Amino acid sequence: MDLELSESHLAFQEEVENFLVSNWRSDLAKDPEAISVFRRTATGAGYLYRNVPEIYGGSGQSPDVLKAKIIRESFAGVRAPREMPGVGMMMLVPTLLDCGSELQKQSFIPRTLTGEYRWAQGYSEPGAGSDLASLRTKGELVDGHWLINGQKIWTTMAHKCTHMFALVRTEPDAGKHAGISYLLFELDQPGVTIRPLKQMNGDKEFCEVFFEDARAPADWIVGERGEGWRVSKSTLKHERNSVGAASGSKDLFDKLVKQARKTTLNERPAIEDPLVRDRLAKIQGHVMAHLCAGYYQLSCDAGGADAGIVGLMNKMNTTVIGHEIAAAASEVIGDSNLQMPDYKVGRPGAEKWVNQQMLSLAAALGGGTSNINLNIIAERGLGLPRD
Ligand SMILES: Cc1cc2nc3c(=O)[nH]c(=O)nc-3n(C[C@H](O)[C@H](O)[C@H](O)COP(=O)(O)OP(=O)(O)OC[C@H]3O[C@@H](n4cnc5c(N)ncnc54)[C@H](O)[C@@H]3O)c2cc1C
C-alpha cells in the first residue's frame, strides 16, 4: 500500500493536531472525568470508535487506513487517551457488530464504549485451553434464564469487570463444537465466585471464576443455541488482530532504543556499543517487517478482503519481537535484571524491563499458543501436511 500522505490526508493531519491542541493537556491524564469528556469529544469529532456506528455510540466513519494511522500517531505523540482499553472494546464490540441482535448492540455497545460495562472473556477451563471445544461449563435454560455451572480459568482482570462473555455447553447431546453457545452475563451476582491468581511477576491479573447456578437472561445469547463456536471465531479473529498490532512492537522498540541511550556500558552509552547497535538493527528490521505486514492486513480489512494467514503471522511477529526486545533490554540493563518488579515503588526503569521479559512469555499463550498458530499457518496457509 502507498503510505505517502495526499493533500487531503495532510489537511486531516493538521485538523487532528489542532483538535489535540484545543482539547488535550497532559495534566488531564490523571483526571478520569476529564478523560471521559475528552473521549466523548474525540468521538464526536470522528477520531475514536471509527468502526462503530453512531447509533451505538461510535463515530461511524468509513474505513481509511491512513487516517487511522494519523490519529494513532498524533494521539500517541501527545499521550492523549484513545479507545477504552480491554477485551470489551477489542473483542466483544466487534463480535456484537458481526453477530449480535439489534437489542444486544443497543444495550451493550454504548456502555462498553464509555467503560461503564467492563468485560471478561470466559473461554479457557482447567481441561480446555488449546482444545477449547472440549469445554464443560454447562448452561441450561430454566424459566426464562440460563443457569450456568462450572469453572473458567486464566480470565484476565475478571475481578475488575462487570460482565462476562463466555462459551458454555448448552446442547449436551450435540457434537463437541455444535453443543456450545455464547452467553453474556453479569459477574456481580450470588452464583459467581472470582479468585485472582498470583503470577510469577507478583501481579494478579488472571482469575479463576466459579459458577454455581449463575444466571443470564434467556435473550443474552449471541447467535442461536449451538452457534457459539461460529460466534467465538469472530471474537478470536479480533483478539488476534489486536494482540498482533504492529504499533505495539514499534512502541516497545522505541523504548528499547531510549533505554540503550541512557544506560552506560563500558563507560559509554550502550547505544554506541557495536554489538548493541548490531542487535538493535536486527530487531528494527523485524519491527519494520511487522509494520508492513500490519499495513497489509489493515488495507485488506478496510477493503473487505481476507488477509488470510497474515493476521496469525502478525500475532507471531508480536510474540517473537516481544521476546527479542525483552532479552536485549535485560542484557543492556545488566545486574538490575535480577530485581523483581515492585509495584509498590512505582516500577522504576530496570524493573519495568524485568516485568516485560516475564510478560513476553505470556504472548506465546494468550489468544492461542504459538504452537497452535504455527500449525494453522503451516497447514491452512501453506498447505503443508497435518502435524
Ligand atoms: C496473557 C494471557 C491472557 C489470557 N487471557 C485469557 C482470558 O481472558 N480468558 C480466557 O478464557 N483465557 C485466557 N488465557 C488463556 C489462554 O487462552 C490459554 O492459556 C491458551 O489457550 C492455552 O491453553 P492452556 O494454557 O490450557 O495450554 P494447553 O492447551 O494445555 O497447551 C500446553 C502446551 O501444549 C501445546 N499444545 C497443545 N495442543 C497442541 C497441539 N494440538 N499441537 C501442538 N502443540 C499443542 C501448547 O502450544 C502449549 O505449549 C490467557 C492466557 C494468557 C497467557
289 lines ligand 1 (CB under 6 A): no
- The protein residue whose alpha carbon is closest to atom 23 in ligand 1 is 129
Asked if residue 11 has pLDDT above 70, the reply is yes
Pocket-testing residue among 91, 153, 154, 194, ligand 1, by greatest number of atoms within 8 A of Cβ: 154
Instruction: Among 19-28, 294-303, 348-357, 371-380, name the one with the lowest average pLDDT.
Output: 348-357
What is the C-alpha separation between 333 and 259, in angstroms, rounded?
A: 8
pLDDT value at residue 233: 87
Q: What number does the ligand 1 atom closest to the CA of 365 have? A: 53
pLDDT value at residue 347: 47
| pLDDT band per the 50, 70, 90 thresholds, residue 78 | very high
Q: What number does the ligand 1 atom closest to the CA of 362 have? A: 53
CB-count burial class (<10 Å; 0-12, 13-18, 19+) for 127:
exposed
CB 159 within 8 A of CB 196: yes
- 167 C-alpha vs ligand 1 centroid, how far in Å? 15
Q: DSSP letter for 117, please.
A: S
Asked if residue 339 has pLDDT above 70, the reply is no
Q: DSSP letter for 381, please.
A: I
CB 196 within 8 A of CB 209: no
Cell of 107: 444495550
Which of 14-18, 363-367, 380-384 has the highest mean predicted lDDT (pLDDT)? Answer: 14-18
Cα 355–Cα 336–Cα 358 angle in degrees, nearest 5: 20
CB 352 within 8 A of CB 341: yes
Asked if residue 191 has pLDDT above 90, the reply is yes
Active site amino acids: 239
- The protein residue whose alpha carbon is closest to atom 44 in ligand 1 is 371
Q: Which residue has the cell 443474552?
A: 220
Spell 173-203 as b/e; 16+ CB within 10 A means b: eeeeeebbbbbbbbbeeeebebebeeeebee
- Walk me through the domains of the chain, giving residue ranges and CATH numbers: 7-83 (1.10.540.10), 118-226 (2.40.110.10), 244-381 (1.20.140.10)
Instruction: Among 94-98, 100-104, 240-244, name the one with the lowest average pLDDT.
Output: 240-244
What lies within 8 Å, CB to CB, of 45 at 6+ separation is 19, 59
Mean pLDDT, residues 295-309 taken together = 79
CB 60 within 8 A of CB 113: no
| pLDDT band per the 50, 70, 90 thresholds, residue 343 | low
* Average pLDDT, rounded, for the chain: 90
DSSP of 261-289? HHSEETTEEGGGSHHHHHHHHHHHHHHHH
pLDDT value at residue 95: 95
Asked if residue 173 has pLDDT above 50, the reply is yes
* 186 strand-pairing partners: 163
Higher pLDDT, 334 or 32: 32
Nearest by Cα to 243 from 124, 373, 142, 330:
373
Higher pLDDT, 188 or 51: 188
156 lines ligand 1 (CB under 6 A): yes
* 125 strand-pairing partners: 128
Cα 308–Cα 312–Cα 313 angle in degrees, nearest 5: 95
Higher pLDDT, 76 or 272: 272
Would you call 67 helix, strand, or coil by DSSP? helix
| pLDDT band per the 50, 70, 90 thresholds, residue 226 | very high
Mean pLDDT, residues 159-175 taken together = 97
Asked if residue 344 has pLDDT above 70, the reply is no
362 lines ligand 1 (CB under 6 A): yes
pLDDT value at residue 332: 84
199 lines ligand 1 (CB under 6 A): no
C-beta neighbour count of 296 within 10 angstroms: 17
Higher pLDDT, 238 or 313: 313
119 lines ligand 1 (CB under 6 A): no
What is the C-alpha separation between 203 and 220, in angstroms, rounded?
A: 33
